[in-house]
Every structure is written in C-alpha cells, then in structure tokens.
Structure 1
Amino acid sequence: MNLNILYEDKEILIVEKPVGIESQSARSFEPDMVSEVKRHIHTLSPKSGESYVGVIHRLDKPVGGVMVYAKTKNAAESLSRQVSGHETDKMYYAVVCGKPVENFGTYVDYLWKDGKNNCSKIVEKGIKGAKAAELDFKIVDNKELQGEELSLLEIRLKTGRHHQIRVQMAGHGTPLWGDQKYNPRFQQKGNRTNVALFASSLTITHPVTGKKMTFSVKPKGEMFDLFSL
C-alpha cells in the first residue's frame, strides 16, 4: 500500500486512509494503517526496535480520509487532549438518501454502543452507557438518481462516538448511501458498495510549535463524483 502522506515531521504524521483499511492494528493478515505507518517510519530511519505510532482517533474501515498519527508519546498525549477537549475540527462529506428537513442544523442524540454486534443505537438520555453525540450538518447539493433523491452534506463532528455520523443520519431519516449496517436498502445480500462518507478535513494544533494546522483531501468515491466539489 502506497501511503498518501500530507505532512510529516519528528512528532506527527498526517496521512490519507484509504477506504477498506483498518485505522488501527488489525487482528488479521490484512493491511492496517498502523502497520503501514510503522513500515514507512522504519524505511525512512531504520533502527533497532519497533517504531512508536500513537493512534489518536479512528475512522471506520469503509470510510476514507484524513488522519493524524503521533510519532512520540508526548505528541500523542497532546493530540489526545485536543480530541477529548473538542479542540480539533473534523469535517466530513456524506451522501445520504433523501434530504434533511432543514438546509442546515445540529443533531444532538444519545448513543449506546452494542459491542457484541458492533453497532450503535440512538437511545433515551439516562440509559446506562449512553453518551451524548453532537454534529452540525449543511446541505451542499441535492439531486435525483434513478428516481431517488440524494443529498451531499458537509458534516462537522462535535463529539467522536462509535459510528456516530452513520447512526445519527439514519436515526434522523436520511441514512448514508451504501451503508450496509444502518441503511436497510443496502443490507440485502449482493447489494455491495462503499459507504458514502469521507473525512475530508482535519484541523489540529501542533503538539510542539502550537501552530494551527489544517489538512484537506477531496472526497473520493463514485457517489461523490456525482456532485461538484
């Protein structure tokens, strides 16, 4: 796998994760981002021992886009504090089936993770294990494909919950195109396609210099090609 590296220095590495690749170490023989990043670092500066790679955030396997990895423990601690303190800015593009009632807005829900079935659900506040989930959305474009209405959304995450965008959009009546877990249309056997979700932009504060840094990649995938971006 050839890594598309957007930025790298001694502390951090910004890279585009391809669709279909695990963002952390995988329990299989399939490639994963952590292994590929370690291989890249070792190639640049071979040394004894395994290279340190800190996982700061995750993207679902069927989702591609911009990610940051830490190359030192101090950088990992700084970036993790930014994530937990909601000091990073993550912007996604998504193609959903249907159209939200409003052209822009905010969804606030409580999500409960079902670890056994690897899915999340919107539940009532107060349910044991439920966590607040918040995102902002804006309709960028809207069109019809074979009699079905599709909307291109720009989404900014305020929190980072398990499958958050996929669960919240489905829960509000506009599931993501191609989502085999949360969109009933794509749960049929043989109806296989990638989920139309892409992490297009990430803004962080550099853990050493304190400089605000933004990295962007144009969303990839056949559904995004239908829209002008």
Structure 2
Amino acid sequence: MKKPFNVIYEDNHLLVVNKVAGVLVQGDKTGDKTLTDYCKDYIANKYLKPGAVFLHPVHRLDRPVSGIVVFARTSKALERMTALFRKRDVHKVYWAVVKSRPKEEYGKLTHWLIKNENSNQATAYEREVDGAKKSELTFKRLGKLNDHWLVEVRPLTGRPHQIRVQLAAMGCPIRGDVKYGFSKPNPDASINLHAFHLVFVHPVKKEKLYLRAALPEEPFWEQFLEFENQKTGDKHLGVTFSG
C-alpha cells in the first residue's frame, strides 16, 4: 500500500498532511484504519508520546479524493480552526479532471444540496427546496490534455460531496466518479479530485500560511503539472485563478 500521507506542515498547534486517495479521514462503518489513526501513530512515534494523542481533523475530504487535510494538535487550535472554516476564512483550491468540456471558461455554480445518508449521495437542485443547503463554487477551465479537461475549483461553501455533485450537475462529472455519473471507475477506486491549495491565517501564530499538496504520484495526474504556472507563495492567490 502507498504511504497514506505526507506531512506538508507541522508545528505544536497543527499537522497538515497530503492524503492519498482511498484513505478515510474519520471512521465509518467499514472500520478501516483512518487518516486520523495514521497521523496519531506518526505523532506518538515521532515525539515518543505515551498515552492518547490529541489530534482532530478540522475538515474532511471524501475517501476517493486526495490532497490537503488539516489536523489540530491542541484544543485551542481546534476551536480556532473550526471557527475559521465556519466563517469561510479559509481559501481552498481544488483541481478536478473531467471528460466533458465545461461550456464556459469560468463561472460560478449555485445549487441547493440534499444529502441522503443511506445512499451516501447528494442531490443538487437548481432552486431552493426544503431541507437543502445552499452550495456555491467558482470554477475555471485550465486546459485540455489527452481528451480530458483540467478544471480549477474554489468552493465557497463546505458541503458534503459538493464539488462532485455540482460539477456533475453542470454536465462534467469528475473522472472516476461513478457515483455522480462518470462512465467508469478509476482502477484504484480514486476520483480525479485533488485538494491542492489552502490559505489561512495560523490560528495561534497569526501568520498567513500558503499550503500546497503535491499532485498524486501517478502518471495520469502528473501530466497535468504543466498547467501549474503559479507558485505556492503567490500573494495573489486570494484574488486570481491559477495561471
């Protein structure tokens, strides 16, 4: 098995990792070992910590998705990071690979989502319906390679399966995502959605962090690196799209 994660950033307050596709962030009915478990083991071994390790994810990524996950190492960091995500003071950039060409080069999608817990699937509606949560994202078509399109996505809300269901509603299901209408699964059961950049102000040190999770080490993904014109420390990340 591939190493479940790589460390991107670490201090006394936070542990930020790049998760491989296929690893759960938190436990579910499968009982499979989670990213949280792996990261607790890492902290326990590195710092020779006896007893229970305090480590909590402050947001989630779906199992078949790769990329950045932030963990809090103290209750203070957890409280403050949770507030940052809730207030949307965290800037998120994803890359998605789709087969169908998005009609517009860039745009904004607004849907109302309802998640069915039994089927673990979300449905997107064009207008408000009872019990649905408003979900918004912006997207930009970055380019085409080998019959697939690379799309940069910036979610403005953080709903379960949001990017997957909203891109599918636009007619552009993510490669490998059979749950939301792609024709066939990827051999490794991943989908081509990667949490690429995260920008936020450190909850304790108050400095701005520009974090980047390298694309999966996998030939299909790596060919898209040519689209990454933008360096991580780009001060304009907050206002512009890549490239």
Matched, 1:225 2:227: no
1:173 match: 171
Native 8 Å contact 2:15 2:70 kept in 1 = yes
Q: Deviations over 1:147-166 (max 9, x none)?
A: xxx21011111111111111
1:130 match: 132
Please give the alpha-carbon distance, in whole angstroms, between the structure 2 residues aligned to 1:131 and 1:211: 32
Q: Please report the RMSD computed on the Cα atoms of aligned residues, expressed in angstroms.
A: 1.9
Native 8 Å contact 1:111 1:131 kept in 2 = yes
Matched, 1:209 2:239: no
Unaligned runs of 5+ in 2: 228-243
Native 8 Å contact 1:178 1:192 kept in 2 = no
Matched, 1:142 2:135: no
Where do residues 87-166 of structure 1 align in structure 2 (5 Å cutoff)? Answer: 87-123=89-125, 125-145=127-147, 150-166=148-164
Q: Deviations over 1:106-158 (max 9, x none)?
A: 1111111111100000125442220011111111112453xxxx210111111
Q: TM-score, normalised by structure 1?
A: 0.90
Ranges of 4+ aligned residues in structure 1 off by more than 4 Å: 26-29, 190-193
Native 8 Å contact 2:4 2:19 kept in 1 = no
Residue 28 of structure 1 deviates from its aligned partner by: 4.2
Secondary structure of 1:223 counterpart = helix
Please give the alpha-carbon distance, in whole angstroms, between the structure 1 residues aligned to 2:188 and 2:184: 7
Residue 61 of structure 1 deviates from its aligned partner by: 0.5
Q: TM-score, normalised by structure 2?
A: 0.85
Native 8 Å contact 2:201 2:208 kept in 1 = yes
Please give the alpha-carbon distance, in whole angstroms, between the structure 1 residues aligned to 2:157 and 2:58: 14
Q: Give the residue type in structure 2 aligned to 1:33.
A: L
Q: Give the residue type in structure 1 aligned to 2:20.
A: P
2:241 match: none
Please give the alpha-carbon distance, in whole angstroms, between the structure 2 residues aligned to 1:182 and 1:56: 26
Residue 17 of structure 1 deviates from its aligned partner by: 0.6
2:240 match: none
Unaligned runs of 5+ in 1: none
Out of 82, 85, 94, the residue aligned to residue 83 of structure 1 is: 85
Please give the alpha-carbon distance, in whole angstroms, between the structure 2 residues aligned to 1:222 and 1:30: 27
Higher mean C-alpha displacement, 126-135 vs 11-20? 126-135
Residue 47 of structure 1 deviates from its aligned partner by: 3.6
Residue 197 of structure 1 deviates from its aligned partner by: 0.6
1:19 match: 21
Residue 186 of structure 1 deviates from its aligned partner by: 2.0
